[in-house]
């Protein structure tokens, strides 16, 4: 008798996607407080833990952060959606090498089917 069929999925969520993409090509931004701003540099659409710790909420307008930015050295970056889409495509391509069944949920999230990849019954630990 074979093993009962189990469906096992993994959720892959890139941590601070926009910030991470920016840091790949600009290593000086690592461990610095950075925000990525919406179109026309209006509001924060991405902020790493360093900025969250300063109390900056998601969607905070840049003009309201300027004093805090000067005080703490927060770098405000214009969004680069072409870069983020390219990096997302690269990530999804890599994930497809681990599972033929990848369901892309958003630019930085996907579900991978891990069913049947462990050999025998269930996944190896």
CB 111 within 8 A of CB 105: yes
**Amino acid 70: pLDDT:** 95
Distance of CA 2 to the CA centre of its chain: 39
Contacts of residue 39, Cβ cutoff 8 Å, sequence gap at least 6: 79
Q: What is the pTM for the complete model shown? A: 0.81
Q: How far apart are CA 125 and CA 122, in angstroms?
A: 9
- List the pLDDT tens digit at each of the 125 positions of the chain: 556 667 889 999 998 999 999 999 999 999 899 999 998 889 999 999 999 999 999 999 999 999 999 999 999 999 999 999 999 999 999 999 988 899 999 999 999 998 876 655 554 55
Residues with catalytic roles: 109
């Amino acid at each position: 008798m074979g093993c009962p069929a189990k469906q096992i999925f993994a959720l892959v969520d890139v941590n601070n996607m926009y910030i991470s993409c920016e840091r790949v090509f600009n290593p000086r931004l690592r461990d610095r407080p950075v925000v990525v701003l919406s179109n026309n540099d209006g509001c924060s659409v991405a902020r790493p833990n360093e900025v969250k710790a300063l109390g900056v909420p998601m969607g905070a307008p840049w003009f309201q952060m300027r004093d805090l930015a000067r005080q703490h050295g927060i770098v405000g970056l214009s969004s680069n959606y072409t870069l983020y889409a390219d990096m997302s495509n690269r990530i999804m391509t890599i994930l497809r090498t681990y599972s033929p069944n990848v369901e892309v949920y958003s630019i930085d999230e996907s579900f991978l089917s891990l069913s049947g990849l462990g050999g025998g019954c269930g996944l190896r630990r």
